[in-house]
Amino acid sequence: MTGSAVHEHTSALNDVEVVRIRNDFPILEQHVNGKPLVYLDSGATSQNPFSVMEAEQEYYEQRNSAVHRGAHTLAVAATDSFEDARETVAAFIGAETNELVWTQNATAGLNLIAYSFGNASVGAVSAQAQRFALSAGDEVLVTEMEHHANLIPWQEVCRRTGATLRYIPVHDDGTLDMDAAANLLNERTKVFSFTHVSNVTGVINPVSELTALAHAAGALVVLDACQSAPHLPLDVKALDVDFAVFSGHKMLGPTGIGGLYGRAELLDAMPPFLTGGSMITTVTMDRAEYLPAPQRFEAGTQPISQAVALAAAANYLHETGMERIHDWEASLGQRLVSGLEAIEGIRVLGPASGIPRAGLASFEVAGVHAHDVGQYLDAAGIAVRVGHHCAQPLHRRLGLNASTRASTYLYNTSADVDAFLAAVAGLRGYFGVEGE
């Protein structure tokens, strides 16, 4: 394989440098349906640079072994690599090393939190764990813009414990109703779980303001950082959240790994979710005692090579510069929205052009189903996401069943966006609905 270049600079990203960055991503060199690939689906899954693939391959070639279990040389080397990766990724989000739990993905992290709180609500638990218990009269608060992964686990834990699930509505432009947020956060709110960036509208929520409201009400804050950790500087300590989750495959890393951040004192007090090997201190035939976090939440064989690769991805992003990435994607997002707004028969979801958003845009084409839009664009070599994007309540609030989403990343150029816009401009004429 060809080694990746290092792109550590202080100047703003531009098309010339992004073209150089693209050279680190071999998949982007291919043609799809006879056309150069324009990949605008990084909001679902990002692509991997050479350095990430090489890191995982090198681990398998040199150190593959079980971690935290053996005393032989390979086992020690594997454990060192595994824990070094934890240190790297924890630093990337502003956390301490012992505050990062490896999970399968962000969905698994959210389920871990919800079901651990559910476990604290039944049976005999420690005095420290009782702070997480939910019961009738307690409330869990989410928002109307949540991905299903940050809604259904809370639905389930409320169903099991008798707690009430409430949500903050959104305005017509997809932004959060902050007046409703202030009213809904009250002394009954035990947990407030919300997304940093909407995967449908690109809305960037005011995390610090929302967290301050939640903590003033005595609630714990859970942040879904799936669409923020890959795209903008994330400092969980500065944001003052209690928990945060993210997925590796959205931030240049491999599939099958994600991270859960939690304040150390909270993680150590929470009941475990999955149990078994590697998360215990003493086991008898009658009972078990558990390790402190993060190991208490890492039962069984861990995603070792994936952790090593994710650390390489975090290094790549850090070297490129998260502020630079965010600024570049913000400009691409504005290019997307303003271009779509200029096309007749297109309705863009979320804030209008000129209002800050992430580097993505979801839209409706009058008279053409989103799945047909996706197939038409795919024929032109353009990869986008179609459907409800695992956010059915938000689509329902906006009066849709499905939409088409184009999402950018650090390897997308202005030419990618322009090729996409040119293709969209021909959509309604192709399907014979132009002028309707």
Stretch among 51-60, 115-124, 208-217, 411-420 having the lowest mean pLDDT: 115-124
CATH 3.40.640.10 is right for the domain spanning 56-318: yes
- Using 50, 70 and 90 to split pLDDT, how confident is the model at 126? confident
Residue 410 is predicted with a pLDDT of 98
- The percent of residues above 70 in pLDDT, for the chain, comes to 97
Q: Is the pLDDT of residue 3 over 50?
A: no
Pick one of 3.30.460.80, 3.40.50.12240, 3.40.50.280, 3.90.1150.10 as the CATH number of 15-50+321-430. Answer: 3.90.1150.10
- Please tell me which residue in 390, 400, 425, 433 is annotated as part of the active site: 390
- Using 50, 70 and 90 to split pLDDT, how confident is the model at 1? very low
Q: Is the pLDDT of residue 96 over 50?
A: yes
Q: Is the pLDDT of residue 5 over 80?
A: no
Angstrom distance (rounded) from CA 134 to CA 137: 8
Domains 15-50+321-430 and 56-318 are alike in CATH topology: no
Q: Is the pLDDT of residue 2 over 50?
A: no
What phi, psi does 322 have (nearest 5°)? Answer: -70, -35
Q: Name beta bridge partners: 195.
A: 224
Long-range contacts of 16-21, Cβ-Cβ distance < 8 Å, separation of 24 or more: 18/328, 18/410, 18/411, 18/412, 18/413, 19/413, 21/320, 21/410, 21/411
- Using 50, 70 and 90 to split pLDDT, how confident is the model at 436? low
Over range 322-334, report the average pLDDT. Answer: 98
Q: Is the pLDDT of residue 123 over 80?
A: no
Domain boundaries, the chain: 15-50+321-430, 56-318
Q: Is the pLDDT of residue 122 over 90?
A: no
Residue 359 is predicted with a pLDDT of 98
145 CB-near residues (< 8 Å, 6+ apart): 170, 174, 176, 195, 198, 200, 201, 203, 391, 394
- Say whether 390 is catalytic: yes
Does this model's pTM top 0.85? My answer is yes
Over range 314-325, report the average pLDDT. Answer: 98
Give tens-digit pLDDT for 40-59.
999 999 999 999 999 999 99
Token pair of 117, please? 């709180």
Residue 124 is predicted with a pLDDT of 62
CB count in 10 Å sphere of residue 247? 29
Give tens-digit pLDDT for 395-407.
999 999 999 999 9
Q: What is the 3-state secondary structure (H, E, C) of the chain?
A: CCCCCCCCCCCCCCHHHHHHHHCCCHHHHCEECCEECEECECCCCCCCCHHHHHHHHHHHHHCCCCCCCCCCHHHHHHHHHHHHHHHHHHHHCCCCHHHEEEECCHHHHHHHHHHHHHHCCCCCCCCCHHHHCCCCCCEEEEECCCCHHHCHHHHHHHHHHCCEEEEECECCCCCECHHHHHHHCCCCEEEEEEECECCCCCCECCHHHHHHHHHHCCCEEEEECCCCCCCCCCCHHHHCCCEEEEEHHHCCCCCCCEEEEECHHHHHHCCCCCCCCCCEEEECCCCEEECCCCHHHCCCCCCHHHHHHHHHHHHHHHHHCHHHHHHHHHHHHHHHHHHHHCCCCEEECCCCCCCCCCCEEEEEECCECHHHHHHHHHHCCEECEEECCCCHHHHHHCCCCCEEEEECCCCCCHHHHHHHHHHHHCHHHHCCCCCC
Average confidence score pLDDT of the chain:
95
Angstrom distance (rounded) from CA 336 to CA 399: 22
Q: Is the pLDDT of residue 10 over 80?
A: no
Q: Is the pLDDT of residue 7 over 50?
A: no
